[in-house]
Structure 1
Amino acid sequence: MIGHGLQWRGVIRTRRAVATTSLAVGGLVVSLNFGGLLGSPHTHDSVTSRVVAGISACVFLVGALIAVRGATDDLVKLLTGRISDSRSAALRVICLLCGYALVILGALSLIRVPWEKLLLGGALTGVILGIAAQPVLGNICAGLVLLVSHPFAIGERISIQSGPLGGRIEGEVTDMTLLFVQLHTEDGQVLLPNNAVLGAAIGPPAREAVAQ
């Protein structure tokens, strides 16, 4: 029964991947046919052609985003057991970010967004958002570095020595996200910002260090 259920899940996942990919390709073809950056419109930019191109671009966007997520999940499942959980999480985040970025850029191209204005507006917006969200972006970048460099693993007991964190903190790593590292200490669950953890001294707990 379990094997039969897993087989059906695989069939459903495959059908879903085929459906979303077909949906994305169909939206791409129709949008290009009615006037995208990569093709010339067959009509004189009529309202109908613009509406059809816009709707098709939205169909492409939704289908492609779902397809990217499904392909990423399948890749992570394929590598399960071959790489550590933290590296699997890092791979998933990187694949999703790259895939989503490409899909969004493709959708913007289909609706013929001027790249010069887009880049200029994006640069100005990026500077403003970067200043406003500097702590969040710093934690995300630090989280990616921690996931890739793999200084510790989930389930491992560690000791973190850092001035910004108020000294030494010991506990078991229970979770790692793009913003925080979660430790289970004697006082309960503690969330540590990734940028503080990245700049801290990390080692075994004091008792284990003395025993060694």
Structure 2
Amino acid sequence: MTEQKSQYHHGDLASAFMDAAIVRIAQEGVDKLSLRAVARDLGVSQTAPYRHFTDKNHLLSLLAQQGFERLAHTSFEASSHYQDDTFKALMALGLAYIEFAREHPQHYRLMFGGTIKRDCGETQVMKTSMSAFDVILQQATLGVERGDLIQQEPRLLARSCWAKVHGIAMLLIDGFYSELNAQQLNQLLMDMLWINLRGISSQLLPVTPPALN
């Protein structure tokens, strides 16, 4: 036990707690998470978590912020490959967003699930969540300026895109789209975004909207 405790530096232990907490949440859900259980998983004293976290809600708040930061980074990286095509950038962003939710379902639910109390970090979580929204907003603004998208207020377009992608992500991790393969999921997202961003159903087009290469 002493040897295992000594492997953590002050800063490393906070990160280790967050990583171990995510593992526990994935296995048992948020409700059963406890700081003491995570401490046992790491082989450290039960008081060790309180050097870094006020309580469970403080830990959950930081985990949600971490999730939004990672989601923003993942989305931005995906969209950056299509700098000259707004629609493809938004498609790539949306698919990366959905894949993040599929790979980290419990973390994703924590980010959006309303688990964190108002007096325990919800305000900061909301601020951090906007970093993920801002990636969408940036593309929507650019698309309207270029004339790639319908001429609507970019923030409204971005919010509509976010709602659609989030809806697909939640339905997917809840098992409602389990029958869809990658190509079908791609087509579903494409159809929803095409209607939203072009103002026309893809079914009315002579050709299918452009897919990602």
What's the TM-score bracket when you normalise by the shorter of the two chains? 0.3 to 0.5
Q: Which has the higher strand share?
A: 1
Higher relative contact order (CA 8 A, sep 6+): 2
Q: Greater Rg, structure 1 or structure 2?
A: 1
Give the TM-score normalised by structure 2: 0.35
